[in-house]
Amino acid sequence: MSEFRFSDALLSWFDVHGRHDLPWQVADDPYKVWVSEIMLQQTQVKTVLQYFERFIQRFATVNDLGTANWDDVAPYWAGLGYYARARNLHKAAGIVASQGHFPTDLEGWMALPGIGRSTAGALMSLGLRQYGVIMDGNVKRVLARFFAIEDDLSKPVHERRMWKIAEELCPTERNHDYTQAIMDLGATVCTPKKPLCLYCPMQAHCQAHQQGLEQQLPFKKTKKPVPVKSAQVLLIKDQQHWLWQQRPHSGLWGGLWCLPIIEEPQQFADLCQNLGLSQVIQRAEITHSFTHFTWQLEALCFEVPADQQQQILNHLGGQWLKPEMAHDMGIPTAMKKLISAVQV
């Protein structure tokens, strides 16, 4: 019986069961790999597939993206969340476009905004088809279970150990297939909950499985409850148009279009009084969760006559837009929820 090798077992499994038809799995196209890697951060493949093709159709090359205005880019990311990713991608694409070539080594990729060690490794491996090592959530989970590592992997000392293990296992031959394979194994078999150990090529050698620890590993910190914040949303409309404001380019929902949001109740009341808004014609409430807090938003709807619109615009800024037009310009998911709640 031949000696077990982690990479050989993984690649044999990948050849039969791996994902080979993802739209960014294109040789000699680092740009598509780059866009996909950024989209896939904190986001599942099935969600990214809904956005990737549309984004690439609009920004087909790194030059197209790097020379575009942010206002053109934002609508194509709206709904994916974690908008700092998109702003960094846009900024980095501008740098690459001005340089006239993609980085050729790990350090070059890591010098760009929004690219850390693991993403840079993926771009070396999948984008340039050179040697690269990754350490995303899938890889951490596979390795932590295979070696029954019970340490807190969020601590730098233990993360360094994981990188060392990953580098020792990662082959130079078929490196790009190995990179995709270990991500696929984590995403489809060695899943966070209820891993499908029966179908895993590592089952006979997986220490966590042998010890019955696969459900407990990798180590998870007890999550602190996220704070709940509340705010009021000012929905001012005529028969067809609503007043929308563009958010500042930095911070939450940077550069996207939103209905005015006011977090202080007294400030909201004073604003309504100053604008002569007294008759609430509709109310709607939604809850939207972020990584670091949950937002309870209450929308109060006011209808104004045409001769009052310019005064409101002068006070609040923004634009009068139909909801579908604002949607096309790029609005966050919470605003889509509010539109649905109001239009029911």
Residues annotated catalytic, as ranges: 37
CB atoms < 10 A from the CB of 116, how many? Answer: 11
Q: Is 261 helix (H, G, I), strand (E, B) or coil?
A: strand
For residues 112 and 321, give the distance between their C-alpha atoms in angstroms, rounded to a whole number.
Answer: 36
Q: Is 303 helix (H, G, I), strand (E, B) or coil?
A: strand
Q: Measure the N-to-C terminal CA separation of the chain; round to a whole number of Å.
A: 65
CA-nearest of 292, 278, 198, 180 to 236 is 278
For residues 336 and 31, give the distance between their C-alpha atoms in angstroms, rounded to a whole number.
Answer: 30
For residues 231 and 234, give the distance between their C-alpha atoms in angstroms, rounded to a whole number.
Answer: 10
**One-letter amino acid of 304:** V
Going from the C-alpha of 218 to that of each of 181, 222, 263, the distances in angstroms are 19, 13, 38
DSSP track, 189-258: TS-SSS--GGG-TTGGG-HHHHHT-TTT-S--PPPPPPPEEEEEEEEEE-SS-EEEEEPPSSSTTTT-EE
CB atoms < 10 A from the CB of 155, how many? Answer: 11
Cβ neighbourhood burial of 28 (10 Å; 0-12, 13-18, 19+):
exposed
For residues 37 and 122, give the distance between their C-alpha atoms in angstroms, rounded to a whole number.
Answer: 8
